Every structure is written in structure tokens, then in C-alpha cells.
Amino acid sequence: MTVPRSTLRLQLHRGFTFDDALAHVDYFAALGVSHLYLSPITASVPGSMHGYDTIDYARVNPELGGEPALLRLADAVHARQMGLIADIVPNHMGIAGGHNAWWLDILEWGRHATYARYFDIDWHSPDPALRGKVLAPCLGAPYGDELAAGRITLTFDAAQGRFFVSYGEHRFPICPVDYPLILRGAAHAHHPELTALAEHFQGLTAQPEQRAQAQAAREALRAFASTHGAQPFDAALAAYAPNLAASRERLHRLLERQFFRLAWWRTAADEVNWRRFFDIGTLAAMRTERAEVFDAVHTLVLRLFAQGVIDGVRIDHVDGLVDPREYCQRLREKLVERESERPPQLDGSRPYVVVEKIFARGESLPSDWGVDGTTGYDFMNDVGALLHDPRGEATLTATWAELSGSTESYAELVCQARRKILAENLSAELDRAARGIHRIAREQPTSRDFTYAAIRRALTELAAHFPVYRMYPLGGARTSADETYFRRALDGARRTLSRGDHAVLAYVAATLGGEGRAGESSVAASGLAHRERRTAATLFAQVTAPLAAKALEDTVFYRYGRLLSRNEVGADPGEFALDVDGFHAANLERAQRFPHALIATATHDHKRGEDVRARLAVLSEIAGEWTAMLRAWSTLNAPHRRAFDSTQGVDTPPVTQSAHDVPSSKGQTPATSPAGLAMACTPLPGPTPDWAPGPAAEAMLYQTLAGAWPYGLEPTDAEGVRAFAERVAAWQLKASREAKLQTSWHANDEAYEAASRAFLFDVLAPQRRDGFLRELTSFVARIARAGAINSLSQTLLRMTSPGVPDLYQGTELWDFSLVDPDNRRPVDFGERHRSLVDTPPSEQLRNWRDGRVKLGIVHRALTLRAVSPALFLEGSYIPLTVTGPRARHAIAFARQHGDAYAIVIATRLATSIMSDSSDVPLVDPAQWEDTSIALPPALAGRALFDCLSPAAPKADATGQLFLRDALSALPVALLVEEGVPRE
């Protein structure tokens, strides 16, 4: 296969394996996708539901069926002229539970380990207690407490002949240098035969050249254990038992000798001396910029490509790498080198490479990376913003300010959140970057008096104001694109720092890839200084990237609730809407620069399903009505608000998680309801109200309920409503913890969480079926048809815009999912296959609530792409002008390749022109009046046929096509000339 025509993303895990995917290959082929796009396939932490916690880059995940099952799937898709794309994770590995052999090697041997240079570890920590060690922040309470409680124990693994320290699921290997100490203590007391075993380890050091001796000694230990069992070692373990003061002290001294330091999980934010994925202490960053590490990380991927098993890769979290440009270029080069090894039937194919990347408006992917584009967040933002009515912005902004009690803009909230994350979550990463610059400053007479603290203050404000994820210096210097965004951050830092810090700020700016300072000595121009400056710029970039993700996606998106349909990965909630010209401009740029980029409207990381967002976008069209509805619901439900006795929260370690798999609700028991808490809608002063869920959280809850309410769910269906409430409760818990206001993952306020859950279940209780539930479902019915039109429009626009349309599993039908894990629930592909019919999608419009009309549009559009691939993969993009009284309610463009054309028309902002007498999501043709589209001159007077309906509208002699003709059967149309296959 070459460049995909379309992809379908599958989330693989032990509950949905390669063979499970294989069972549905016929459906995927019938749907029309050309490639299955698989979540990570390398071995991951056992039980992982996402695969982003790789533990072995060289092995296909056995929980997915291993390599044999992968090959079976590949054979099946190849037999149907399809291909595979694999998600790869070069930035980090999973280290939880003692499953990662590379990480265990480091814990055992420290900086002398074989893999010591594979991970991004600072072996020269300023903390003397961490020099030459790695912090292991896994303890649920302070170290001394856990040691005294007996939860840290010395164990022996007879099968491996190794001693470990165990804590819960975690295992930390004892360095073999200390084995004689352990064995001789037991030998004198009960088992003198262990003395001979101790001799095998005598004189051993941590130096690499003694690994063979250590391995042979361990083998002797293993052999002895296989003959005599583990019982002889019990005395050795008893000498380090934590239940007695003397043996506990002995265990402590043994731990102090190791190359790891066990620590309370709370220490990680301030003291961790290795780079994490975001702030997650179970994902350790790799040094993929090193050649040997790169090769080890990509061995399997390159082999599978050479064998023709996969056709390309999706690169996860490219912004975490030291130099994304250099990495992507190297990967492309390595893949190209293996092209000649691919099977003969794949001659001429080339590797397909896309990167996971999030942009600010106006930012673009550098053209020299050697990739085909991004995974589609940029398109998801563009098409979502296109469906919002800018006329509703002022009203909804004022409403949110009233409800939340805050007049701060989204940008101001972002700065606040960035400072909070830097202080509480990424302090150690910021310290590391500041130390790097401080070391450089100390070398120069002109800068040696710039203190570490001053440099850290300057870096904090630069990072707090940084408008994009990161910069991409070239040769150690900021590029012109970098400079645009860096200057904005610099201006913001100048405004917030005291004048006394401005000289330090200027020095920091020059050090981070800027122009050199006047008066620098020749030392600054040396190779060493240049490398240090490049390292400093890298460290800063590796702070701003996770900072952006944590502050925006995982904090402000749950604090700022003006309109939740704009709070999506890749979007800027501060940007309310995008006009038609802006959408065309983005498509034209993509067509010119990255015509083969993925374009998506749903992903495994989305905050809300694509159809939730499409329905919520309707609120921008009825902003005044929505404001009144919020006030009415707030008054109606005021008696159900809960008072709560807030505490400092329960101090428990965060659940093992990644940004790809954040924990859901633990199912708190609802608090007892106090009687008659009738409170006004006006928010109480201060950030933490004494009732739950609080005015801002309550307003966001109502948006969630209205946006996610499934079609067909009736208020009288108590069981169905309860199941829906459980899903929303999981979202509510995650949303409140991510907001980090009243509660958080690190310090959860159980009283607040229980009270918020109780409020939700009270307002959705069966006895409210004639009250709030009736009001809610009536309002959903009010916006559902316009929401469905938005859904069908964004579906067709994704299928036909420049790029490769990506389907997220199951979203062929309506997708009213919420944030993970809700958006990763099992998919009934059998139902979708049975719903796949040959009749035009327009025939399904009367039954639109079952979603088959959406599936039909996907199917017909993908079929057209299959029979006319060049039209969409290589064809030009031509914006078409819409004129007439309803011009703002439609968008149209043409795709052209040679003499072939496809005309795409979609309805937008439909609420005000829809008839209340109809039950289908369609604008009455008469409402379009004389609104028309100016077709390309070559199509004037020529007959066109709609791939989606029996309609055959014809442009007049001047090339005008009237929307009353083109959109008579569906709110969208995909027109082609006769002769272009429509089936």
C-alpha cells in the first residue's frame, strides 16, 4: 500500500486483540477504509488498556496475541487490498510493576547499568542523597511511615536468583554487590552453606566489566534455590524484616546503599531526577536522540515495515523528543532504507509517517521534518469552530462570567494554570532547566551574578506566557517561526516580572537559542558552551510542552465553561468561531503543504465525542435561550445542592495513569442530603463555595447532560437514565479533579466529590421525570435536529477535505461519548456491519436517530474516494462562493483532478432556518430561497448527481446551483458528474 485513502483507528488491549480485529475485517473493508490504524502494538505493562506504557520495544504485545496474531491480521487486510499503520511511542516507557528490564537494570546498577544512557536521567542531582541514584517516588506515604508500617520488604525470587525490595506491585532489585552482606548474615545463624554462595559475589563492584561475574554468581544462587528451595533464604530475609526495630534499621541501611531512593509519591514534583511523560511517575522518558537508543526503540517497527506487515507509523507525543525535526528525518531515512526489503507486490510503496502535534492558530508544521502531516487535531479544531455562530459569543461570555463569578479571560486563566502546574507538578523539570542556564551564567564575568533563583523566576514567566507547545531551534538557534512565539512570551514575562529581573530575563532569552550577549568571552563561543546552550533550549522546550498539555487540556479545559464544545484537544476555547473563509484558508494550506495529513473529528484522547460537540455548538446559535435555560435549571435544582464539610482531602498516591488513560470514578457513596438548600444562582464569593457542585461546575454539568443525552433515552427509563448518570458521574469526578480547584487527583476532597455525585443523581432521579428530566429532554429535542445537521456536515467535510480522513472506532454511528475511559468503551462492530446498506443515505434520514444516515454518508464518501482516489489525494481544492439570503448557512467547495470534479455542500448554523413542523434534520428547501453556489465554469449547464441521494441538481447556464435543489434530500450533498462511480 502507499498513502492511505482513509484510516480507522482501533484501540487494542487484552479485551480487544488482533484476532478480535480480524473478526471484523470484512466490515472494515466494506466500509471503505484503506488502512487500520492501530494503537501501540509493542509489549506494554500487563493489563494496559492503551499500550502507551511500553516495556519492550522489540516484542509485539503478547496480550494482543503476539506477533503471530499480528501477522494473521496483516494477511487478512492485505488480502482485501488494505494496510496497517502502527502507533509508536518513542518518547517514554512504562516502568510500573517491575516489568521493564531496561529500567530494572538501572535500578540495580545505577549509572553503570547497560541502559543507563537510554533514559533521560540527571545523575548529577544537586541533592547529595540522589547523586548517582534515581528517585523512585512510588510510596503512598512518607518513607519512614511506610518502613515502620512494614510495607517495604526484602524478598527473594528463587526463579531468578535475585533479591528485591517489594512495595505493593513494585519491585526494586538489590545490587548484587550487596548480596554477600545479605547471605552471610543468614549463613552464620542457620545456613552456613550460604557462605559459599556469598563467595561468588565477593569483590564484585558495579563496574560493567564485572557483569559476567555477577551473572554467573546469580546463576549459582538460582541453581541452589532450585535444589534446596527458598527456605534457606528465609533467615536472610528475616534479618531485614521490618517488624523489629533492629532488622528494620538494617533494611533501611541496605536501601540507602542502592542505586534508587524510595520516596513518597509527593516528592516527585519537586525532586524527581529523571524526565517523566508529563507528570506521570510511571512513564520514564527515553533518550531517543542517541543512535543506539533510536535503533533499539525502532528495531521491531523497522522490521515490520521491511516485511510489509505495516505501511507506516503514527508518532506519539513528538514534542517530548529532544529534537523532533532530527528524529523525524532520521526515522524517515531509516524507513526508506528498508523499502527495498519489502515484498515484491509492495514495490513503489513508501512509508507513511504522521506526528501527534497540537498547534496554536497560525502555527504550522515545519516543512523540513520529512513527515506527511499531523494526526488531525488541527482539522478537528477548524471544522468544530466553523459550526459555531460568532453572534453568540458575547452573550455566552457574559453568562459564563455571571455564573462563574469571574471576569478573567481564557488567556488569563491559562497563565494562572501554567504557574500552578509549574509550582505543583513540574517543579523538578523547571529546576533542571534553570540549573542548566545557571551553569552557563556562572562561566561568564558578565553573568556570574545572575542567581539561580532569578533565572528560575524568569523561566517561570517565560513558560507561563509561552503561546505554543514548544520551539524547534535549528543548530541551537531559534528559527524565525520560533522567534514569533518566543517574543510574545518575552513580552508577557516583561510585564509580570519586576524591573530588577529584566536583565536576567534578557540573558535567559539570549541563552535559549537567541543572539549572544555583547561582551561574552571566547569561552561562550566554545563547543562546550554551545552544547550547553543547546541543552538549555531543549530542557526549556521539554518543560513548555508538558506544561501546555497539563495547564490547558488537563486544567483550564475543566475550569472554563463558556461553551464546552470548544474545550477540545487541539482547540483554543478562547477562539469562539471560525468563518467560512477561515476554514477554506486552512484547507488550502493543508492541500498545499500536507495533502496527506490525517484529518479527524474524534480520537482516543478527545474530551467529548464528535456528536456531543456538534450538538453543543447549537447553543452558540441560541445563546439567549440557553442563558435563560441555565437560570431556570439552576433555580429548579437549587434544593438538591449539597452542603459539605470540606477537609484537606485524603492523601493517597495518584492512580497509575497516563495522559492516555486517566482513572475514572471510584464510585463514592452519595452524601446524605440536607433539607432545603435553596440557594440563588449567583455564585458565592471566593474560589471554593460551601455547596456542591458549585456554580461553575453546575453550569458545565448542564452542558454535559444536554450534549451527551443519547437518542432514544426516555425519562421514564429508570435503568437507562441510571446508566447514563453513571457515565456522567465518571466525567464529573474526572472534571472536578482535573480542574484542581476544590479537589484534585493528588489531594482529593471526598466530601465535595460525594456531594457533587449526590447532586447529579438527585437531579436525574426517577422522581424528577416530570421535573428536571422532562425539561432536559425537551431541551435536547429542541437542539437535536440542528445538532444532527452539524454532525452530518462535519462528517462529510472530513471525508472530502484535503487530507486522509480518519475514523475513530465506532463513530460511524452517533458518538455521544465523554472523556476517556468513556470514549474507549467496547464497540459493537457487528451492529455497524448489519447497518451497512446499499441504499442512499437520504433514505435513512427519516430514522435519523439510529445513526444509519451518518454511517451511510461515511460509506458513500469512502466508496467515492476508493473509486476516484486521485480526486481526493491529489486533487486541487476550490472554495466556492455562496450567495443569496441564506449564504451564511452553507459552505461549499470543489475537488478537482483533471476533468473530474466533486462538489461538496454542507449546511451550517441551521437553527434559525429550520421549520418546527418537521421532525427530520433538514432545512425545508423553500427556506433556502434563491441562495446559490457559483460552480466552476467547466460545470455550467452540466448534470450532476448526488452520491448521497437520488437528487440530480443542475446548474443553470451561468453556473449557479441553487441550494433548494442541491439540499432537498439531505443537509449535505456530494455531487459528481455522470460517469464518476457513485457506488
Residue 720 lies in a domain: yes
Helix (H) or strand (E) holding 44: strand 42-44
Instruction: With a cut of 50, say whether residue 963 has pLDDT above it.
Output: yes
pLDDT in the model for residue 112: 96
Residue 601 lies in a domain: no
In the numeric block, the cell 459555531 is attached to: 388
Residue 810 lies in a domain: no
Q: Peptide bond before 683: cis, by omega within 30 degrees of 0?
A: no
Summarised one tens digit per residue, pLDDT across range 212-234 is 999 999 999 999 999 888 888 88
Q: Measured between alpha carbons, how far is 251 from 237 in angstroms, rounded to an integer?
A: 10
Q: Are residues 534 and 488 in the same domain?
A: yes
pLDDT in the model for residue 493: 98
Residue 583 lies in a domain: no
Nearest to 951 by CA among 930, 935, 966: 966
Nearest to 511 by CA among 415, 453, 435: 435
Q: Are residues 458 and 480 in the same domain?
A: yes
Q: Are residues 449 and 526 in the same domain?
A: yes
Determine how many CB atoms are found less than 10 A away from the CB of residue 14: 15
Q: Are residues 178 and 203 in the same domain?
A: yes
CATH at residue 13: 3.20.20.80
Beta bridge mates, 167: 170
CA–centroid distance for 180 within its chain:
47
pLDDT band at residue 498 under the 50/70/90 scheme: very high
Domain boundary residue, one of 562, 588, 620: 562
Q: Are residues 305 and 266 in the same domain?
A: no
pLDDT band at residue 662 under the 50/70/90 scheme: very low
Which segments within 629-721 are labelled E, that is strand?
642-643, 691-692
In the numeric block, the cell 459564563 is attached to: 400
Summarised one tens digit per residue, pLDDT across range 622-640 is 999 999 999 999 999 999 9
Bridge-based pairing state of the strands 162-167 and 890-897: unpaired
Q: Can you give 503-558 as a three-state secondary structure string?
A: HHHHHHHHHCCCCCCCCCCHHHHCHHHHHHHHHHHHHHHHHHHHHHHHHHHCCHHH
Beta bridge mates, 83: 35
Q: Are residues 368 and 412 in the same domain?
A: no
Question: Residue 960: left if φ>0, alpha if ψ -120 to 50, beta else—which one?
Answer: beta
The greatest distance separating any two alpha carbons of the chain, rounded to the nearest whole angstrom, comes to 105
Q: What SS3 class is residue 934?
A: strand
pLDDT in the model for residue 268: 95
* Helix-strand-coil split of the chain, %, nearest 5: 50, 15, 35
* Contacts of 585 by beta carbon, 8 Å cutoff, 6+ apart: none
Q: Are residues 740 and 657 in the same domain?
A: yes
The average confidence (pLDDT) of the chain is 92
Summarised one tens digit per residue, pLDDT across range 163-202 is 999 999 999 999 999 999 999 875 555 677 888 889 999 9
pLDDT in the model for residue 191: 72
Determine how many CB atoms are found less than 10 A away from the CB of residue 517: 15
Residue 772 lies in a domain: yes
Q: Measured between alpha carbons, how far is 488 from 368 in angstroms, rounded to an integer?
A: 24
Determine how many CB atoms are found less than 10 A away from the CB of residue 442: 12
Number of domains in the chain: 4
Instruction: With a cut of 50, say whether residue 517 has pLDDT above it.
Output: no
* Contacts of 423 by beta carbon, 8 Å cutoff, 6+ apart: none
Pick the more confident residue, 406 or 142.
142
Q: Measured between alpha carbons, how far is 40 from 91 in angstroms, rounded to an integer?
A: 13
Q: Are residues 187 and 262 in the same domain?
A: yes
Phi, psi of 836 (to 5 degrees): -80, 115
Domain boundary residue, one of 322, 350, 375: 375
Q: Are residues 642 and 715 in the same domain?
A: yes
Q: What is the pTM of this model?
A: 0.93
Residue 316 lies in a domain: yes
Q: Peptide bond before 693: cis, by omega within 30 degrees of 0?
A: yes
Q: Measured between alpha carbons, how far is 355 from 543 in angstroms, rounded to an integer?
A: 19
914, 866 Cβ separation under 8 angstroms = no
* Contacts of 834 by beta carbon, 8 Å cutoff, 6+ apart: none
Q: Measured between alpha carbons, how far is 440 from 477 in angstroms, rounded to an integer?
A: 16
983, 863 Cβ separation under 8 angstroms = yes
Q: Are residues 557 and 416 in the same domain?
A: yes
Q: Radius of gyration over alpha carbons of the chain, in Å?
A: 30
268, 140 Cβ separation under 8 angstroms = no
Q: What SS3 class is residue 668?
A: coil
Amino acid, single-letter form, for residue 470: R
In this prediction, residues 926-937 reach a mean pLDDT of 96
Residue 46 lies in a domain: yes
Q: Measured between alpha carbons, how far is 415 from 406 in angstroms, rounded to an integer?
A: 15
pLDDT in the model for residue 672: 27
Name the burial class of residue 866, with classes exposed (0-12), middle (13-18) and buried (19+) by CB atoms within 10 angstroms of its CB: middle
Instruction: With a cut of 60, say whether residue 659 has pLDDT above it.
Output: no
Q: Are residues 648 and 670 in the same domain?
A: yes
Summarised one tens digit per residue, pLDDT across range 7-66 is 999 999 999 999 999 999 999 999 999 999 999 999 999 999 999 999 999 999 999 999
In this prediction, residues 486-504 reach a mean pLDDT of 97
* Contacts of 670 by beta carbon, 8 Å cutoff, 6+ apart: 754, 757, 758, 761
pLDDT in the model for residue 349: 78
Which range of residues forms the domain containing residue 182?
96-280
Pick the more confident residue, 417 or 528.
417
CA–centroid distance for 434 within its chain:
27
Beta bridge mates, 162: 157
User: Three cell numbers at 200?
Assistant: 561468588
In this prediction, residues 799-819 reach a mean pLDDT of 98
Helix (H) or strand (E) holding 209: none
Where b means 16+ CB within 10 Å and e means fewer, 448-482 reads: eebebebbbbbbbbbbbbbbbbbbbbbebebbebb
Domain boundary residue, one of 359, 375, 391: 375
Which segments within 654-740 are labelled E, that is strand?
691-692
User: Three cell numbers at 34?
Assistant: 484503506
pLDDT in the model for residue 185: 72
Q: Are residues 188 and 325 in the same domain?
A: no
In this prediction, residues 405-425 reach a mean pLDDT of 94
Q: If you ran DSSP here, which 8-state letter would residue 34 be given?
A: S
Residue 918 lies in a domain: no
Instruction: With a cut of 50, say whether residue 125 has pLDDT above it.
Output: yes
In this prediction, residues 723-736 reach a mean pLDDT of 98
> What is the end-to-end Cα distance of the chain in Å, rounded?
22
pLDDT in the model for residue 193: 80
